[in-house]
């Protein structure tokens, strides 16, 4: 991995971390209510009640992503705060997604542009994605759909 690629990945993670810090400290926004569905299922499973929405009722599949639920169950089992973990997971998956988009574009444009211009063009595409897309709200949202789309 080249030094430029490492710097770009670290910059993306830092960008989303700062953005999330700003969101938490200055905008006072809360987690969307749909995200709490996963958090409640994870807590019920770790506490021994099984895949139930309400304790002592029949199991109900109210979640939409089993894999994301398993990740949250693992975090809860390790006594990690689920809200913070889900947000950090969103930041990391968004940064990884944009990093891979960058690598794909560098690879595609290496064949028709010089190395310098392929990196510049790929960075311009990243900037467009950061400014004009749902990557930012998705990154700081603990919903599973933002992770599954990556």
The pTM of this model reads: 0.71
pLDDT means over runs of 10, the chain (150 residues): 72 72 59 81 93 88 88 94 84 80 79 74 74 64 56
> How far, in Å, CA of 140 to CA of 60, rounded?
28
Q: Which residues contact 135 (CB under 8 A, 6 or more apart)?
A: 94, 97, 98, 129
pLDDT digits (tens, 9 = 90+) for 22-38: 666 555 556 667 788 88
Tens-place pLDDT, residues 137-147 = 666 666 665 55
Judge whether 98 and 130 are in contact, CB under 8 Å. Answer: yes
User: What's the pLDDT at 25?
Assistant: 57
């Amino acid at each position: 991995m080249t030094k430029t690629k490492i710097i770009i990945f670290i910059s993306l993670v830092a960008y989303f971390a700062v953005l999330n810090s700003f969101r938490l400290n200055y905008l006072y926004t809360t987690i969307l209510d749909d995200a709490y569905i996963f958090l409640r299922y994870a807590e019920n499973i770790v506490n021994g009640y099984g895949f139930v929405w309400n304790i002592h009722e029949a199991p109900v599949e109210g979640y939409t992503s089993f894999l994301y639920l398993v990740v949250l169950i693992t975090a809860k089992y390790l006594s990690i705060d689920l809200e913070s973990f889900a947000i950090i997971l969103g930041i990391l998956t968004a940064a990884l997604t944009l990093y891979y988009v960058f690598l794909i574009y560098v690879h595609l444009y290496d064949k028709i542009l010089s190395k310098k211009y392929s990196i510049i063009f790929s960075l311009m595409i990243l900037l467009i994605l950061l400014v004009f897309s749902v990557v930012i709200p998705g990154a700081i949202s603990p919903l599973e759909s933002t992770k599954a789309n990556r």
